[in-house]
Amino acid sequence: MATRTNIPGTSPFEPIIGFSRAVRIGNAVHVSGTGPVGAEDLSPAEQTRVVLKLIETALSQAGATFEHVVRTRMFLARVEDWEEIGRAHGEVFGTIRPASTMVVAALLNPKWRVEIEAEAVLP
């Protein structure tokens, strides 16, 4: 059986909801939906960059990098933000090109414009 490692983050929602920022099982890393905690008043692109930095930290703690990411899911609060958020996502993933999805959904904090999940597979 593969070893499970829970990677905590800094979200105030983790203990309330009962989740880890990321979970590594074997060579797979699953990063929870990550919102721009503390960056609520920034633009959608800047919120996306903050979220991606939080994801990068979680991946690093799991022994992974952005290059190991095979899937992302972007949850947008407003459909009109798709291009701005997409371009910020592309700054990181433009050459990596994981499978990716954008969905418009209500987010936990009404000031959040984006929340992102990621999955990585280590060699």
Encode pLDDT of 102-114 as tens digits: 999 999 999 999 9
Which of left, alpha, beta for 111 (phi over 0: left; psi -120 to 50: alpha)? alpha
State the DSSP string of 45-105. HHHHHHHHHHHHHHHHHTT--GGGEEEEEEEES-GGGHHHHHHHHHHHHTTT--EEEEEE-
CATH 3.30.1330.40 is right for the domain spanning 4-121 = yes
Sequence ranges of the domains in the chain: 4-121
Q: Crossing angle for the helix pair 82-93 and 44-61, nearest 10 degrees?
A: 30
Question: What per-residue confidence (pLDDT) applies to 71?
Answer: 98
Q: Report the predicted TM-score, pTM, of the whole model to 2 decimal places.
A: 0.95
| pLDDT tens digits, one per residue of 30-77 | 999 999 999 999 999 999 999 999 999 999 999 999 999 999 999 999
